[in-house]
Structure 1
Amino acid sequence: MLFAGVLITACATAPTRPPAPISSGQPRPDVTPTPEPTPEIEPTPHTPTIPVPGETQRPMVDRSKYVTPPHMVGRDVRRIAVLLPFSHSSSSVREQASGLLAAIEMAMFDQGNDDILLLPKDTAGDARKAAQVTKEVIDEGADVIIGPLFAESVRASASIAREDKIPLLAFSNDRSAAGGGAFLMSFPPEEEVSRVVDWAVLNGVNRFAFIGPDNTYSRRVETALRFEAARRGGAVIGAEFYDPSDNAPVDDARAISDRIKLVLNQGVSKVAVMIPDRGVRLRGVAPLLPYYGVSLRRLQYIGTSLWEDPDIWREPVLENAAYATQSPEDTRLFQRGFSNVYGRQPTSLSSLGYDAAALAIAFLDDGVVTEAEITDYDGFRGVNGLFRFRSDGTIERGLAVMSVQASGPTLLDEAATDFRPSVN
């Protein structure tokens, strides 16, 4: 069976049933964006409850008018809407949307639930369109919404869906889009920074420096680095931002090197240097610090999942550098399963679609979607490893720490298998 042991389940309990094999022959849910299914009368009304602050139950609705394709008439149908930018102007975004939908379909097969109907809609990557299709899927009976992808679309959809107490499992990496019924299934850089800083401090390094491109992602990483270092009793001794088009930012590298040398000369044994970049730029920046006189033995390069990049693994200066990412074993299992089913590799976000769908199906098993379920303290284990949602809609993940080696990354510290007692 596919993904035995990595299906979404509450961490404290076993799966309620095993996944159905891909080749089980169970009816394929209707996942084609067009044409829309022919409306039919559903004979058995059912009203799930979705508590939100200030209210305890989802308003009573007439489910008899909801979309039900002919082959599902007579079943207690649960509907999962999928809002993604299928017609976005960017081919890479369209590819991600397609990969997400493919993984969502795959989860449907693995869970073997023939009472779930998918309602895919195209947001085109536009917030106004996202709001429009959110209204459509609510009218069609959506119990849970998977998506959208972009922050503005998430906000627009959540503002509509919260009126009907329908939760969103969205894919934006922008934490400001969380909350108000939107729960982000993403890989936020803040989680990766927290994990690798934890690892560094546990290994005796509590002084940090930063050098990275001047962009939104890099700024988020630098802010997170300062916060995470400070709350563990460490400090960031300096930060430099370089022009993202500059593959050899010598002035910025010299400036941060001077600060590092000053601290090392004051008795600090080692400094961890965060560089949230990849490819040619990372290979150009990292060697500049030793070039400007910082002893490589007293540097610990650290990074984010951007370093999951074969282009950098053979850079000698980066040997033994550390970065945080999802569990490599979980990643390999998902990639192998996806490739076996579709004959191609998944996109970088596909696994999020799988976990979101498996989670939505698990929530709908009893016909009830509650905030308590979504924010379960013990969390869940999916194809991306351990995760749980905070009450503000952001996600907390159990991540591994990897070491850069010429032959490929090796595991330094395994991903957590359960969460610590405290919640951030």
Structure 2
Amino acid sequence: MSPRPMSSRASQRVKSPGALAVLVGLAGLLLAACAPAGSPMPSRGTLDPPAPRLQPAPQAQRAPLSPDPNMPLSGGLTPYGQTGYGSIGGRGDMVRVGLLVPLSGPAAPVGQGILNAAQMAAFDVADERFVLQPYDTRGTPAGAAAAARAALGQGARVLLGPVFSGGTRAAAPVAASAGVNLVAFTTDPAVAGGNVFVMGFLVREQVARMVQFAMGEGRTRFGALAPDETYGRVATQALRQQVAARGVALVDSRVYAADAADVRGPAQALRGAEAILIPDTGDGLRAAVNALAYVDIDADRVRYMGTMLWDDPRLWRESALAGGVFPAPPRNTVQGFAAKYQDAFGTAPPDLASLGYDAVALAAVLARVPGGPRFDRAMLTDAAGFSGVAGIFRFRPDGTVERGLSVMEIQADGNVLEVAPAPIGFTGGSAGF
């Protein structure tokens, strides 16, 4: 399987200096060990993305790995022979990074969006030795395994992707047999561990941010009203874990059928809650909030809490949701990324594109570690973390990701307002580029 060549039109757009000038605050990740627009979450009922978003360590000798203005940027979007996008200088000792995404099949738009953003990051952050090699997974486990074998056969030092949990499970042992780590875009934490690091926006991280915010308002009695599907059950379980860990009360948690028009029965059980998690979207979310209002549990007194499923302007016009809050990546960096993507490719970035940018920026920084490229576990799991267009993040030893998210509040006029900013660093330091 050969890496997919870029069309001449895309190449011309991306290589335009005006289109992709290095972004201040976006154009690189700070490796702490050495120194979308739109919802990225899946539709309810699944933990995978849809098919159709630091701090320096204290040692003085550890210098930030922000892009060096004196270091030539990668031509990362210029074809390097037939093996990928990378060096324009022809230097030896190339650092090859495999990108495993669906470029054909039903999920091709998602994969192409990730690839576009990945190319942006290579242009913005990488040096001339960096080679980004994309491979088509076809959106299937077998395709992901074949893509991993092809990438490793062509010298990839780390694998970015696949997008789906099934493909991640199939590619992981292929990478492990070569001693290579894999950073996947899936939101399923069950595939993390060993040589697999999960970069997607995890439901439990979103719920944790909501509980933290509500407790900051003095709320100590929580509830959940969720669809009786995988996504709703995972979110509810995350709420139970957060409540138990933080020593606050769970009034009750109730589920409703995904197609239920009347949710008043389950809603009744949540009387007395001061904050209610509703991990749903569309008609299900409307039915839930209307049922809560009908039984006198309204947003004037009770804080409705969502997940990143709520990051949808079509929902913000629902009057019953006014005052509700949901987690999101930092608006300023995500919107800046979206504007640059639009300028480069003539369209808004699709879901997960920001993760493609951050993953390649991470790999580009690790490729420039003094002493040689480092994609090992110790570097990936440094406790200080990294900063990207989707905010700060760090990988835990179990391979799952921890993120810094902002809190957005839905306003009565159908807009949203940031009521709690995303943190700029994890405990023990500050983030930066």
TM-score range, shorter chain: 0.7 to 0.9
Moved more, 12-21 or 106-115: 12-21
Question: Does the CA contact (< 8 Å) of 2:333 and 2:391 recur in 1?
Answer: yes
Q: CA deviation at 1:108?
A: 0.8
In the alignment, what sits opposite 2:213? 199
TM-score (norm 2): 0.81
Question: Does the CA contact (< 8 Å) of 1:201 and 1:232 recur in 2?
Answer: no
Measure, in 1, the Cα distance between the counterparts of 2:285 and 2:173.
Answer: 40
Q: CA deviation at 1:74?
A: 4.3
The residue correspondences of 1:190-339 to structure 2 (distance < 5 A) are 190-246=204-260, 248-250=261-263, 253-257=264-268, 259-261=269-271, 264=272, 271-294=274-297, 296-339=299-342
Q: CA deviation at 1:70?
A: 10
Structure 1 residues 16 and 71: alpha-carbon distance in aligned structure 2, compared to 1, 3 A threshold: closer
Q: CA deviation at 1:410?
A: 0.3
Q: Are residues 1:351 and 2:354 paired?
A: yes
Measure, in 2, the Cα distance between the counterparts of 1:296 and 1:73.
Answer: 61
Question: Does the CA contact (< 8 Å) of 2:392 and 2:424 recur in 1?
Answer: yes
Question: Does the CA contact (< 8 Å) of 2:74 and 2:128 recur in 1?
Answer: no
**Which structure carries more relative contact order (alpha carbon 8 Å, separation 6+)?**
2
Measure, in 2, the Cα distance between the counterparts of 1:297 and 1:160.
Answer: 53
Q: CA deviation at 1:29?
A: 3.8
The residue correspondences of 1:152-171 to structure 2 (distance < 5 A) are 152-171=166-185
The equivalent position to 1:37 in structure 2, one of 60, 75, 82, is 82
Q: CA deviation at 1:19?
A: 6.9
The equivalent position to 2:401 in structure 1, one of 386, 391, 395, is 395
Measure, in 2, the Cα distance between the counterparts of 1:97 and 1:199.
Answer: 34
Structure 1 residues 185 and 68: alpha-carbon distance in aligned structure 2, compared to 1, 3 A threshold: closer
Deviations 1:327-371 (A, max 9, x none): 111211111111111111001100000000000111111323222
Measure, in 2, the Cα distance between the counterparts of 1:222 and 1:348.
Answer: 24
Instruction: Count the aligned residue pairs.
Output: 375
Structure 1 residues 398 and 181: alpha-carbon distance in aligned structure 2, compared to 1, 3 A threshold: same
Q: CA deviation at 1:137?
A: 1.4
Structure 1 residues 72 and 182: alpha-carbon distance in aligned structure 2, compared to 1, 3 A threshold: farther
**Structure 1, unaligned stretches of length 5 or more?**
39-66, 265-269
Residue 144 of structure 1 aligns to a residue whose secondary structure is strand
Measure, in 2, the Cα distance between the counterparts of 1:351 and 1:396.
Answer: 16
Q: Which amino acid aligns with 1:288?
A: A
Q: Which has the larger radius of gyration?
A: 1
Structure 1 residues 28 and 207: alpha-carbon distance in aligned structure 2, compared to 1, 3 A threshold: same
Q: Which amino acid aligns with 1:317?
A: A
Q: CA deviation at 1:17?
A: 2.5
Question: Does the CA contact (< 8 Å) of 1:100 and 1:349 recur in 2?
Answer: yes
Would you tell me which structure has more helix in proportion to its own residues?
Answer: 1
Deviations 1:40-93 (A, max 9, x none): xxxxxxxxxxxxxxxxxxxxxxxxxxx9999765422111111112122x2xx2
Q: CA deviation at 1:281?
A: 2.5
The residue correspondences of 1:409-424 to structure 2 (distance < 5 A) are 409-420=416-427
In the alignment, what sits opposite 1:79? 96
In the alignment, what sits opposite 1:9? 30
Structure 1 residues 289 and 77: alpha-carbon distance in aligned structure 2, compared to 1, 3 A threshold: same
Deviations 1:144-197 (A, max 9, x none): 111001112112111111122111111011001111211111101110000010
Moved more, 74-83 or 186-195: 74-83
Deviations 1:234-290 (A, max 9, x none): 1222222222223x233xx32332x233xx3xxxxx521111112232123202112
Residue 286 of structure 1 aligns to a residue whose secondary structure is helix
Question: Does the CA contact (< 8 Å) of 1:28 and 1:109 recur in 2?
Answer: yes
In the alignment, what sits opposite 1:96? 110
**Structure 2, unaligned stretches of length 5 or more?**
1-20, 32-53, 57-63
Q: CA deviation at 1:214?
A: 1.6
In the alignment, what sits opposite 1:178? 192
In the alignment, what sits opposite 2:119? 105
Question: Does the CA contact (< 8 Å) of 1:77 and 1:115 recur in 2?
Answer: yes
Structure 1 residues 37 and 26: alpha-carbon distance in aligned structure 2, compared to 1, 3 A threshold: closer
The equivalent position to 2:157 in structure 1, one of 115, 121, 143, is 143
Measure, in 2, the Cα distance between the counterparts of 1:320 and 1:102.
Answer: 36
Aligned-residue CA RMSD in angstroms? 2.5
Measure, in 2, the Cα distance between the counterparts of 1:357 and 1:374.
Answer: 13
Q: Percent identity?
A: 33
Measure, in 2, the Cα distance between the counterparts of 1:416 and 1:220.
Answer: 25
Question: Does the CA contact (< 8 Å) of 1:21 and 1:109 recur in 2?
Answer: no
Measure, in 2, the Cα distance between the counterparts of 1:106 and 1:388.
Answer: 22
Structure 1 residues 20 and 302: alpha-carbon distance in aligned structure 2, compared to 1, 3 A threshold: farther
Measure, in 2, the Cα distance between the counterparts of 1:402 and 1:70.
Answer: 41
In the alignment, what sits opposite 1:52? none
